[in-house]
Amino acid sequence: MCTIPSRERERRYRQPVLVQLVDLFLIELTNWRWSWRHALVTGTITPLFTIIALGAFARDDGGETLAYVMTGNIVVSLLFGTLNTVHSHIEWLRFYGGLDYFATLPIQRYALVLAIAMTFLLFSLPSLVITMCLGSLLLRVPIALHPLVVIVVPLCALSLAGVGAMLGLIGRVPGESRNLTSVLTLLMIALGPVVIPPERLPGFALVLGFLSPATYAASALRQTTVGPLRARIALDLAVLAGMTVLFLWLAGRKMSWRQV
């Protein structure tokens, strides 16, 4: 009687990636179905208060600076909110046995990371809409939505999901890598025209900003929500898509089901 090697058996019974992604997405929705109210409140209050605070200082600088304040804070919430939540969730799964459960399923590792990020993106959409509408009213920044916004918003949220997963895999004890996540977030916000217009930044910050996905995310969101749309949108989308694929692939390569 012949036996089938475990890797061959896994390939034989593995579902298509889209099916895996949908199933994992539904699992994550079930896990987080009780916390959507908390996500809505915290995802709205934090960026809205920051918009009000920064807007009070930038009101005399004109509409362009206020547009940076509004869209930049939405990007911070999307980009780094997803990074932090994916990091925390992967870390929790790692130390409390969740990865042992997923190890029993014939799934791709990167599909798990993507499903987690998509869940948090879904939970963040209501707060994103509320923040944008209230921010526009408070700062008097007119909104001019472009159809490409339906591509930009998911890319903003997913581009650093793989980084969040990798950070959740490196700590020796729970919470150890949290400080690294905070430092990384602050650096990427400060480098490049995310919340602050480029003319107010020193030259080295603008140069280093080209290495930060936050720069491209802020540019893409600003063009598709406030306008005008420029030729640069192609570069922004390409960089965000490339970073999404690269970081998810790296996270899948680094992740071992039994990390502890």
Q: Where are the domains of the chain?
A: 15-254
Return the ∠ at Cα 135 (arms to 133 and 136), rounded to 5°: 65
Q: What is the pLDDT, as a whole number, of residue 12?
A: 43
Distance CA 100, CA 120 (A): 22
The H-assigned helical ranges of the chain are 6-13, 17-31, 36-58, 63-95, 98-103, 109-139, 149-158, 161-168, 178-190, 203-209, 213-225, 232-254
Q: What is the pLDDT, as a whole number, of residue 131?
A: 84
Q: What is the pLDDT, as a whole number, of residue 3?
A: 46
Distance CA 11, CA 159 (A): 28
Question: Between the CA of residue 163 and those of 27, 69, 90, 251, what are the distances in Å?
Answer: 22, 25, 11, 7
Which residues of the chain fall short of a pLDDT of 50? 1-4, 8-9, 12-13, 260
Distance CA 234, CA 231 (A): 6
Q: What is the pLDDT, as a whole number, of residue 238?
A: 95
DSSP labels for 9-70? HHHHHPPPHHHHHHHHHHHHHHHTTTSHHHHHHHHHHHHHHHHHHHHHHHGGG-HHHHHHHH
Q: What is the pLDDT, as a whole number, of residue 157?
A: 87
Q: What is the pLDDT, as a whole number, of residue 257?
A: 62
Q: What is the pLDDT, as a whole number, of residue 1?
A: 44
Q: What is the pLDDT, as a whole number, of residue 258?
A: 55
Q: What is the pLDDT, as a whole number, of residue 195?
A: 85
Report CA 177 to chain centroid distance, whole Å.
17
Q: What is the pLDDT, as a whole number, of residue 239?
A: 94
